[in-house]
Chain A
Amino acid sequence: MLRISHLSKSFGSNQVIKDLSIDIRQGDVTVLLGPSGCGKTTLLRCIDFLERAESGTLSFADGGAVEFATAAKKEIARCRRRFGFVFQNHNLFSNKTALENVTEGLIVARRIPKPEAVAIGREALARVGLANREDYYPNQLSGGQQQRVGIARAIAAKPDVILLDEPTSALDPELTGEVLDVMKALAEDGVTMLAVTHEMTFAQDVAKRIVFMDGGVIIEDSTPRAFFAKPREERARQFLKRLLPNYGEYTI
């Protein structure tokens, strides 16, 4: 559905993403794993042009390709329509209600007439289980609800791919479940996702594909079954050992 090829990004002399290529297939739920600082956030941000990569191409199956380094404003705007972004700490507009958070982009950027945008917004909120919270401001919502509004905002315009950057890691443990349930429901509906998450049950049960990154490159790209059973790479094994304390026990 879309392809990222030869993406490189540095901060000063620190090269964070190194000539990375990845295909995203329609309907896939891809979980991006890797140790802290390996460039997961940076990769997602480059894909949605929140950071400018130095090189790399973004190409779409239905034709069209864009150079990350040189894309003009218009091209960036066109690419961004294909993505929804869910931030670690939701980044909701604090002066807007839940519904307005979802409809703002539809009305202002997409120029969808307000009644239509409101209908779309209500539907999106219903999908994340917040139909009864549309008039609440972000600070009247719990952390889990805020993040669900963040997801509703990202899916409202029906983008090709939803990019999620650790959507549950800023939440209290008892609130992660509701957000993961929403993500799971979306996955079942066939929504294409590229998610960074440390929720291993989600990665094992929901993901179709695990991409393991380290040092700015992809070092393993496989199914959850294969990955969790026995990663090929030692670095991935070390990573799993740290995240799953009893890892070695049930794989053998």
Chain B
Amino acid sequence: MEFTPLYILQVIPELLRRLGVTLWLAAATMLFSTLFGALLAWAKLGKSRVLRALANAYTAVLRCTPTLILLFLCYYGLPKAFAPLGVDLNRMSRFCYSLIAFTLLNGALMSEVIRSTYESIDRGQFEAAATVGMTPFQTLRRIILPQGVYIALPNLGTTMITLLKEASLAFTIGLVDLMGQAKLIISLRYGARALETYLALTLIYWALTFLIARLVSRLERAFGAGRFERAREAAP
């Protein structure tokens, strides 16, 4: 069959019908893995040796697990693991399996982002805040977090983009996201126009990635007050 560039444009709207699934999966994964990552980072930075060792071991193991395999392990393994407890996971949606698998992996990555960010912030500011009477929680929220978000943003952006792309693997367990939709369209046409469809898909992912990068640099500007303005008139 002949290559038809026009078809690329025609198939885009059809693919976009599943954009929501891809975005929801990425967003929900990001949310849960940030929470999970914060918990792991807390364990890594804490005093308890056992918790520290557990969190570090978890991170190491998850980092060494290929995403696709982790996805299969969750999809086939979780129902088996929970069956003896009387929990039937066979009817859990593919979206949930994908969310769990990506959160398990991404949480490990996020915990490293959070830990390294926390450690990069000068402890002296914690002490200074204490001397003016601020509680640790107030310090965290008003001093440490704003600086941390700024420091972590480039890392967060990379993590988010990687996640968005890796999440396309979820089609392998039958989730119909952007990638799943592309597969479906192609198979409905008995394999015809596969190249055009994948090119259209590529364009969509490029656009999404571009938007995330833009968003991150916007946020960097917002949180970087006092760092971006360095260029302003130097004080004599």
CA distance A131 to B182 in the complex (A): 63
| B235/A104 in contact, CB under 8 A | no
Q: Does A110 contact B (CB under 8 A)?
A: yes
Residue in contact with A109 in the complex, picked from B134, B147, B234, B235, CB distance below 8 Å: B134
B129: chain A residues at CB < 8 Å are 93, 104-105
| B226/A140 in contact, CB under 8 A | yes
| B130/A104 in contact, CB under 8 A | no
Q: Within residues 182 to 238 of chain A, which ones have a CB less than 8 A from any CB in chain B?
A: none
Q: Does A18 contact B (CB under 8 A)?
A: no
A100 to chain B, nearest CB (A): 10
**Residue interface mask A21-37, B partner, CB < 8 A = 1:** 00000000000000000
Given contacts A105-B133, A108-B134, A140-B235, contact A97 B128 (CB under 8 A): no
Given contacts A50-B131, A137-B229, A153-B132, contact A91 B235 (CB under 8 A): no
Given contacts A133-B235, A140-B226, contact A94 B125 (CB under 8 A): yes
Residue in contact with A95 in the complex, picked from B133, B138, B147, CB distance below 8 Å: B147
| A108/B130 in contact, CB under 8 A | no
A243: chain B residues at CB < 8 Å are none
Q: Within residues 33 to 85 of chain A, which ones have a CB less than 8 A from any CB in chain B?
A: 48-50, 77, 80-81, 83-85
A44 to chain B, nearest CB (A): 11
| B133/A138 in contact, CB under 8 A | no
Q: Does A141 contact B (CB under 8 A)?
A: yes
Given contacts A140-B230, A145-B235, contact A93 B133 (CB under 8 A): no
Given contacts A91-B125, A95-B147, contact A85 B142 (CB under 8 A): no
B147: chain A residues at CB < 8 Å are 94-95
A102 to chain B, nearest CB (A): 9
User: How many positions in chain B have a CB within 8 Å of any CB in the partner chain?
Assistant: 27
Residue in contact with B130 in the complex, picked from A50, A93, A106, A145, CB distance below 8 Å: A50
Q: Does A239 contact B (CB under 8 A)?
A: no
CA distance A136 to B227 in the complex (A): 11
A94: chain B residues at CB < 8 Å are 122, 125, 147, 226-227
B133: chain A residues at CB < 8 Å are 77, 80-81, 105, 108-110, 157
Residue in contact with B122 in the complex, picked from A91, A105, A133, A145, CB distance below 8 Å: A91
A105: chain B residues at CB < 8 Å are 129, 132-134
| A95/B229 in contact, CB under 8 A | no
Residue in contact with A140 in the complex, picked from B130, B143, B229, CB distance below 8 Å: B229
Q: Does A176 contact B (CB under 8 A)?
A: no
| B131/A80 in contact, CB under 8 A | yes
Q: Does A15 contact B (CB under 8 A)?
A: no
Q: Within residues 199 to 236 of chain B, which ones have a CB less than 8 A from any CB in chain A?
A: 223, 225-227, 229-230, 232, 234-235
Residue with the highest number of chain A CB atoms closer than 10 Å, among B132, B146, B230: B132
Q: Within residues 91 to 128 of chain B, which ones have a CB less than 8 A from any CB in chain A?
A: 122, 124-125, 127-128
A154: chain B residues at CB < 8 Å are 131
| A141/B226 in contact, CB under 8 A | no
Given contacts A87-B124, A133-B235, contact A93 B131 (CB under 8 A): no
List of 6 A-B pairs having minimum Cβ-Cβ separation, nearest first: A105-B132, A137-B226, A109-B133, A91-B124, A91-B128, A85-B131
Apart from A49-B130, A87-B124, list 7 A-B contacts with CB within 8 A. Answer: A89-B124, A94-B227, A95-B143, A95-B225, A95-B226, A106-B132, A139-B226
